[in-house]
Structure 1
C-alpha cells in the first residue's frame, strides 16, 4: 500500500511490502477531546480488525490548555501534536492520530506521516440557533471562529460582520453558541458528522463559497521514522486518492511558509485522473479581498511517485499567490 511521507515534502520514505502484516501490539497517543477520542477509537477498531492488539493513551496538549488566545498568537496548531510526539519519542506510544489540518507542514526530524485515511466531508459548516444561512444574518452580527482562514473568507463574503475568537473543543464551541455568545459559528463539517451532530448543521458551505483548509476532513497518522513495522501495519488503512489531494494542499502551505495558522485555504480534488488544486489567501487586517490561484494536472493516485508531482503543483499555486501579493 501507500508508503509514507518524509520531512520537507510528502514523498515515500519507506518501501512497504504488500505481504500480510504479522499481528503487533500498538498504543495510540491521542488528545482526550470527544472528537479526538472518536478518531483514535476509529483507527483502533480498524487495526484490531486486521488482527493487531491496540491500546489508547489519552493526553492533554498545550493546544487544549491555552484557550484565551488565538492559535496564531501562541504557536500555531503544532501545539495540538507536541505532547503526542513526545510520547512517541519516549516509546509510550507507537502512533498518533491527528486531524490532518492540525498537523504542521514539516514534522520534526525523526517523525513521519505514515498514513492518510479516506477523507470525510472537507467543507465548512454553518451552525446557528437563529439563522439558517450566513446571508440571513443582520448587519453587525457576531460570528465565532479562531481560524485566520475562516476569518478572511467570512470577511470576503460579509465584510459587515463582527468576527470574534472561538476556542475550545467542538462541544465547548457549541456550548458557547447555545449560551448566546455568538449569532453563529463556523466549524468543520467532518467533526460534526463524526460525532453524530449532523443535525446541528444549518448549511454546508460549498467550496465555491468557503474554500477548506489544507487537509480538512482527513485523518493523518504519525509515527517515528524508524518504525517501518508500524507503518507496515497502517498501510491497509491508507487511501491513495486522499493522500494525493492533501499532499498538493499541504505543499501550498509549506511553500507559503509552512504555518498552519496563516490566512490560507487550499483544496484539491481528483476527478477522472485529473488533480485540480485551488487556493485562496487574504489579509486579516487589510481589505476584505481574496487572492485566488488554480492549477491542475493529470495524475495517477495509485502511483506513489505522483506525490512528487502533487508537491510541485502545490508549489506552483503558491507562486501564483505570491505573484499577486500574498505573503
Structure 2
C-alpha cells in the first residue's frame, strides 16, 4: 500500500481541516495510506504581535514548503488565504477542494447585532481588512487586535475583553461550532472576505505526477476558478497581510463575477470594483486594471513603502 505523508500546521484548525481532507481522499483512494506530519511555522511562533506588523508573505507556509522540497512530506494542506499568490519554483497548487463558507462571522456578547452595538464598543480582530471595513461602517467603535485560536478568542470576548469579535465562518464550521454562537454573518458582497477565504489549497512538488493524479479526485473546478480570479487580483495589486485588501469571486447564473476591495488602514479611503468575465485570470487582471485607474494602487505603494 502506498503511503503519502501529509504536511500541516500544528494548530487545531489546521489539523482538523487536514483530517477532513484526508477523509475525502481516503474515500476516493482506498488503496492509499495517509500519514500526518505536523510542522510549526513562523506565523505560529509569533503570538505576541499583529502578523501585519511582522511583514513578509508566507508566514504560515515557508517551513512546510521546505519539508516538501526536501521530501519529508509528499503534499501540504494550507488555508489558501495564507498561500502567497506566487509559489516558489518547483511547487504547484495541485488541488483546491470545494470551498467552505466564505463569509465573516460576527460574534457578540448578548447577541447584539453590529448596527446595535453601543458607541465605544470594542471589537477584536487580527485582520487589517476586517478592521478597515468595520471602521468605515461605524466610526464610533474601537477595533483592537486579538490573536489566538477560535476557542481563545471566544473566551476573551466572554470574559469581557471585547464586546464582539469577527472570525471566519469556515473555521467555526470546520471546528464544529454551531450557528448558535454566531450573532450574524456578513454578506460577502457588502463585507468583502479575504482572498480565497474558506478554501483550502493542496501544494505538491511540480514533478510529482502520481500525487497530482491522487489529488485530482478531490479537486473542485468552481472553487478553483473563483479563487484563481481572487488570487490573480491579489498578485497584481501586490497585496499582503500589511494591506487591507479583499476579493470575492462568485458564479451567478453561470457567470463569474469578481469584486475587489482595497482600503486605507484607517478605513477612510475605500476602493471597490466589480466586473464579470469568463476567464478567471483575465477577470482578476481586469479588476486590478480598474483599481489602478482609480488610484487604489497608490494606497498599497504608500503602505508598503512605510513598512
* Common fold: TM-score over 0.5: yes
Structure 2 portions without partners, runs of 5+: 298-307
**1:76 Cα deviation from its structure 2 partner:** 4.5
Q: In structure 1, how many angstroms separate the alpha carbons of the residues matched to 2:241 and 2:93?
A: 16
Q: Which residue of 2 aligns with 1:39?
A: 17
Q: In structure 2, how many angstroms separate the alpha carbons of the residues matched to 1:189 and 1:77?
A: 23
Q: In structure 1, how many angstroms separate the alpha carbons of the residues matched to 2:259 and 2:293?
A: 15
Q: Which residue of 2 aligns with 1:318?
A: 288
Q: In structure 1, how many angstroms separate the alpha carbons of the residues matched to 2:217 and 2:66?
A: 26
2:116 is the counterpart of 1:146: no
- The structure carrying a bigger helix percent of its residues is 2
* Counterpart secondary structure, 1:48: helix
Aligned-residue CA RMSD in angstroms? 1.5
Are the equivalent residues in 1 in contact too, given 2:189–2:259 (CA < 8 A)?
no
- Within 5 Å, which residues of 2 pair with 1:113-132? 113-132=93-112
Q: In structure 2, how many angstroms separate the alpha carbons of the residues matched to 1:161 and 1:323?
A: 32
Are the equivalent residues in 1 in contact too, given 2:128–2:241 (CA < 8 A)?
no
Moved over 3 A (4+): none
* Counterpart secondary structure, 2:109: coil
Q: 2:39 pairs with 54, 59, 64, which one?
A: 59
Are the equivalent residues in 2 in contact too, given 1:115–1:220 (CA < 8 A)?
yes
Q: In structure 1, how many angstroms separate the alpha carbons of the residues matched to 2:122 and 2:57?
A: 24
Q: 2:2 pairs with 15, 24, 33, which one?
A: 24
Are the equivalent residues in 2 in contact too, given 1:67–1:167 (CA < 8 A)?
yes
TM-score (structure 2 length as normaliser):
0.91
**1:171 Cα deviation from its structure 2 partner:** 2.3
TM-score (structure 1 length as normaliser):
0.86
**1:249 Cα deviation from its structure 2 partner:** 0.6
Q: 1:231 pairs with 209, 212, 231, which one?
A: 212
Are the equivalent residues in 1 in contact too, given 2:55–2:241 (CA < 8 A)?
no
- Within 5 Å, which residues of 2 pair with 1:90-109? 90-109=70-89
**1:252 Cα deviation from its structure 2 partner:** 0.9
Distance 1:110 1:258, change over 3 A: farther
